[in-house]
Every structure is written in C-alpha cells, then in structure tokens.
Amino acid sequence: MKIIRYPTFFDYIEVNYNGMKLPRTTQKFFDEAGAISRFTGRFFHEAFRPRYEIVEFINQCFIIGYRSLPLVGLTGFIMGLVLTMQLRPSLVDYGVESELPAMVGIAIIREIGPVLTALIFAGKIGSSIGAELGSMKVTEQIDAMEVSGTNPYKYLVVTRVLATTLMLPLLVLLGDAISLYGAFMGVNIKTNTSFTLYYTQVFDALAFSDVIPAFVKSFFFGFAVGIIGCFKGFNSSKGTEGVGRSANSAVVVSSLMVFVLDLLAVQVTDLLGLN
C-alpha cells in the first residue's frame, strides 16, 4: 500500500505559527482542495507522456459515453417537453407564444442541456468511477496493476478522465438534440407547428455565442466529473464503507463543481463579450 502524505500549507503554519489553528473542517476542506489540485496536476503531467492506454481509453469511452446515452436522452427529452409546457403560459400572457421555440431552444442549448446532462452524468459516471476505483484500491487491484508493470494512474485515471472530458460534450450535443425534439413535441401539444418551422425558428434564434460557450464548458464539466470521481476512488479509505463514501462524495463534489464551473463559465463568456 502506497501511503504518501504530502506536507500541506497547514503543516507549515503549525510549525511556524504554533497556536494559530483553523477549525478542523476548514483545514480538511483546504487539505482536500490542495490534494485535488495536486491530483489534477499529476493528470496533466502523465496524460501527455507515453505510454498511452488507447485500448482502455476506447473501452472507457464506450462505457462512459455510449452507455450513458439512454439516461441522458430520456432526461433530456422529458426536460425539453416539460420546459416548453411550463414556459407557454407566461409567453401567452405577453402575446409572444410564437417565440416559444426560440426561447426553449436558447434555454436548452445555453444552459439546461449542458448543466442537466452534466448533473446526470455526475450521478451516473461520477459515482461509478468513485466506487470502481475505490473498490480497486481497497482490494489492492491498483497495487496489482502497478506490480504488473502498469502505471495505474495512466491506466485508470487518465483514460477515465479523458473519456469523461470527451464524452460529456458528445452526450450534451445528443442530449440537446433529443431535448429539442422533446420541446418540439411540447410545442405541438397545444398548437400545430411543422418541424421545419420549428427548427428554423430555433436556429434563427441561436447564434454561435450560444452554442460555442455551452459546448466548451461541457468539456470542463466532463473533466471535473472525471477527475473528482477518480480522486475520490483513488484516495478511498479501507473497507466497504470507504468505497461507499468515496462514491457518494464523488457525486456530491462533482455536482457542486458543475455549478461552480457554470458560474465561472457565464462570467468568462460575459468578459469575452460573447453573451
């Protein structure tokens, strides 16, 4: 078992300013933030050096991307439908019911699609990565890999993080497409709109500044879900309880990170003048 305790900022504080101590939870929070940063740094250090685990990467892409599509598609469809039905009354009040496709389209592409998909993804993939790596850690499979001449960080973490980073944007795109179709059904519940008119209206309302930032931020969402799931799994404590906890906190922390990144993304796009 490889136990490396890196000195943290607070170790130095305790040494140099004895008596000045932060509350335990605060210290733990910063400790973990530091450890995640280090873990992320290691990712960039290892991801772009050989050897490349291409077969395992493709395998993970299949598991992470393809197998998540039904869930993402279903939630996306329902969300598009429900959103349309919920928006209609207020638009009718203002007499701009005809703007419904444009409005729903923008809402889905800009925000609902990426964030909802990322949250579902965090729930499904974040927890499964956390649990899988956690149990591998507990049952010494990670050590076994290392002994078998495999860098487990490359084999387990890099492949998964790359897979989540690349697959989530794809899932977001497909989720958007399905969601827009759901919205089309929603539009057609009360009125009769042709599909051609619907998609013309949707795409007329959209600009690159709607699609590109949303697409770009989903890469970051995917990266966050992957890296946090792997971090939690890789640093799982012993025992089945530790596995459960790492799966759970992987979901919680990565969902939270999705929102934090979303907040950052909206500010960055605003600064770049893309809003």
Partner 1 sequence: MAESRINNLKLGIFTIAGILFLVISLYMIGKDQNLFGSNILISTRMRNAGGLVSGNNVRYSGIQVGTVSEVNLLSDTSIEIIMLINEDAANKILNTSIASLGTEGLIGNRIVNLIAGPGTGRPIREGDVIMGKKTTDTDQMLETLSTTNQNAAELSSELLTAVKRLNGSSGFWRIIENDTLATDLTTTLQNIRKASENTNMLTSDMNGMLNDIKSGNGSAGKILFDTTLATQLGEALSKLNHAASNAAALTEKTDQLLKGIKHDIESGNGPANSILKDSGMVVKLHNTLTNVENSTAAFNDNMKALKHNFLLRGYFRKQEKIKSKDSAFGKPK
Partner 2 sequence: MEERSLNKTEVVISIRKLYKAFGTNAVLKGFDLDLNRAENLAVLGKSGSGKSVLIKCIIGLLKPDSGIINVFNESIPEMEQDELDHIRARIGFLFQSNALYDSMTVRENLAFPLRRHWIEKSQTKELELIEEALENVGLAHTLNMMPVELSGGMRKRIALARTLILRPEIILYDEPTTGLDPITGKEISELMVRIQEKYKTSSIIISHDMNCIKITADRITLLTDGIAYATGSYDELKASDDPVVKQFFD
User: Among all chains, which residue has been given the structure tokens 């499964």?
Assistant: 128
CB count in 10 Å sphere of residue 192 = 7
Kindly report the backbone phi and psi dihedral angles of residue 98, in degrees, each rounded to the nearest multiple of 5, phi listed first: -65, -15
Q: What is the Cα–Cα distance from 133 to 68, expressed in whole angstroms?
A: 19
The residue (of 9 and 259) whose beta carbon lies closer to partner 2 is 9
CA 215 to chain centre: 12
Instruction: Identify the residue whose tokens are 């799931």.
Output: 229
- The one of partner 2, partner 1, none whose footprint includes residue 237, by CB under 5 to 8 A per kind, is none
Give me the least distance between CB of 119 and partner 1, in Å please: 19
Instruction: Rank residues 109 and 136 by Cβ distance to partner 1 and give the closer one.
Output: 109
**Which of 58, 82, 144, 197 is close enough to bind partner 2 by CB under 8 A?**
144
Two tokens at 260? 């934090």
Nearest-approach distance from CB 98 to partner 1, in angstroms: 9
The DSSP 8-state label assigned to residue 146 in this structure reads H
CA 64, distance to chain mean position in Å, is 12
Burial of 99 (0-12, 13-18, 19+ CB in 10 A): middle
Site for partner 2 contains 2 (CB under 8 A): yes
| Residues in touch with partner 1 (CB under 8 A) | 58-59, 61-62, 65-66, 69, 94-95, 169-171, 173-174, 176-177, 199, 203-204, 206-208, 211, 215
Q: Which of 166, 225, 178, 183 is nearest to 72 (CA)?
A: 178
Assess 14 for contact with partner 2 (CB under 8 A).
no
Minimum CB–partner distance for residue 38 and partner 1 (Å): 32
Nearer to partner 2, 2 or 24 (CB): 2
Contact 235, 250 (CB under 8 A): no
Among partner 2, partner 1, none, residue 58 binds (CB under 5-8 Å by kind): partner 1
Q: From the CB of 80, what's the least distance to partner 2, in Å?
A: 34
Q: Which of 8, 27, 40, 151 binds partner 2 (CB under 8 A)?
A: 151
The contact set with partner 2 (CB under 8 A) reads 1-3, 5, 132, 135-136, 138-141, 143-151
